[in-house]
């Protein structure tokens, strides 16, 4: 296995954590840098994945609106009052689902973003300490 940085997905998928090679004197700082990078990368990946899920969910809701209209149109060129009422309720439900999805996206993303500054600070702190002692090995992160 390559000694480069790993992602959380790789750790989960492979079930193996590659211990980076470093001089014993600086290994703790390299380890802190690597693990803080894992946290930072994981947060960013989760935010991106949540946005992908959001887009997929919103697209499915838009398709459901089209299906609802198609059901209304099957009744002929002049829908009944009952058919139109069913269509309107369905649209209201779908609009409610869209609002709920937007709120859920905001809630999920804001929870993840709260973790971002601490992870970034830990990563930068470890990087700066390594810079101070002049050890730039493992700068691939």
Contact in structure between 16 and 1 (CB atoms under 8 Å): yes
Question: What is the pTM (predicted TM-score) of this model?
Answer: 0.73
Helix or strand (DSSP H, E) at 101: helix 81-132
Give per-residue pLDDT as tens, 69-96.
999 988 778 888 999 999 999 999 999 9
Local structure of residue 140 (DSSP, 8 states):
T
All structural domains of the chain with their residue ranges: 25-132
pLDDT confidence bin for 1, thresholds 50/70/90: very low
Residue burial 88-123, b: 16+ Cβ < 10 Å; e: rest: eebeeebeeeeeebeeebeebeeebeeeeeebbebb
For the cut 50, the answer to whether the pLDDT of residue 135 exceeds it is: yes
Q: With 0-12 CB in 10 A as exposed, 13-18 as middle and 19+ as buried, what is 21?
A: exposed
């Amino acid at each position: 296995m390559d000694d480069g940085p790993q992602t959380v997905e790789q750790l989960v998928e492979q079930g193996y954590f590659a211990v980076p090679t470093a001089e014993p004197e600086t290994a703790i700082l390299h380890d802190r840098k690597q693990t803080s990078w894992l946290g930072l990368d994981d947060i960013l990946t989760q935010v991106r994945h949540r946005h992908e899920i959001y887009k997929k969910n919103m697209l499915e809701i838009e398709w459901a609106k089209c299906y609802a209209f198609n059901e209304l149109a099957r009744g002929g060129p002049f829908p009944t009052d009952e058919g139109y009422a069913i269509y309107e309720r369905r649209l209201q439900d779908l609009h409610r689902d869209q609002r709920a999805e937007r709120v859920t996206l905001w809630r999920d993303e804001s929870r993840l973003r709260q973790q971002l500054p601490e992870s970034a600070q830990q990563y930068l702190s470890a990087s700066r300490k390594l810079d101070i002692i002049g050890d730039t090995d493992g700068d691939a992160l």
